[in-house]
Amino acid sequence: MIRSFNSLMLIASFIALALGQPASAQEVVPDGKGSAKSAQDAARARERQATRSPEKDAEADRHTPKPVQGAEPDHIRGQITKVDESSIVVKTKNGRTVRVALTDKLTIISLSKGSFTDVDFGTYVGAVAVRLDEYSPIIRDSLSWLHRGFELRIIDEKLRGIALGHKKWDLTPDSIIAHGWVDDLEIRVLSIKYGPTEEEETDVEVPRDVPILKMSLGDKSLIKAGAHVFAGAQKGSDGKYVAGFLFVGRDGIVPPL
């Protein structure tokens, strides 16, 4: 019943957007035995936000996962200006020009346009986000901090399990990246889960103005001048970069992660 309520809320939000009217949890109350529980959950979420306290903040701190610093290659973001058989030249966002070698071990990831309507329970997703100073509206035994997403990727089943977890990211000084399956859904807030406990999930709000993309395996045909890319590359002792993975935006998409 909770799932059907969330689905109704999601549908209502899209209808309200089309009509130019706001949608909220109070506007949609499903019939049946789940109505009372759903209304109680909405009331509890509102009460939590209205009654901040040091004790509740400490509870949210304990429950919200602490981002860890994983072993990451250097990240190169920019646009391909030149391609040859074994390398690409990327003009980065800060104006630098970087040559990146490509090998047979390179993993190519395609990013294409997606839609929030494709998100459902169990969908494998990834998001870069930053923690907000407010509690998540998702109701569970413990409070959790809410994160605001910079992007959302709906990941193809062939890539399910990739980068599972929650760790620090370098898009902004305080950003994180989380990958997992959708365990709960409250209008535009996702619970991204990556383990069996409540401490192994990240609640991310997905604003309507952020990019929502489909992420799938790509091939070398995507690598061409003008394409926008996000590369993970290792710098050798000779100072040259070798790419381990390459995200390529299709149809002019700029990888936002």
Name every residue whose Cβ is closer than 8 Å to that of residue 166 and which is 6 or more positions away in sequence. 65, 67, 68, 176, 177, 178, 192, 194, 200, 202
pTM: 0.79
* Gyration radius (Cα) of the chain, Å: 20
- For the stretch 156-202, pLDDT in tens is 999 999 999 999 999 999 999 999 999 999 999 999 999 998 889 99
Per-residue pLDDT tens over the stretch 117-155? 999 999 999 999 999 999 999 988 789 999 999 999 999
Output the six-digit token pair for 82. Answer: 């030149």
pLDDT of residue 81: 97
Report pLDDT digits (tens) over 41-88.
555 556 656 578 888 888 888 888 887 776 679 999 999 999 998 999
CA angle 193, 22, 121 (to 5 degrees): 20
Domain spans of the chain, in order of start: 2-51, 52-257
Q: Confirm if 125 and 192 have CB atoms less than 8 A apart.
A: yes
Q: For residue 5, name the pLDDT band (cuts at 50, 70, 90).
A: very low
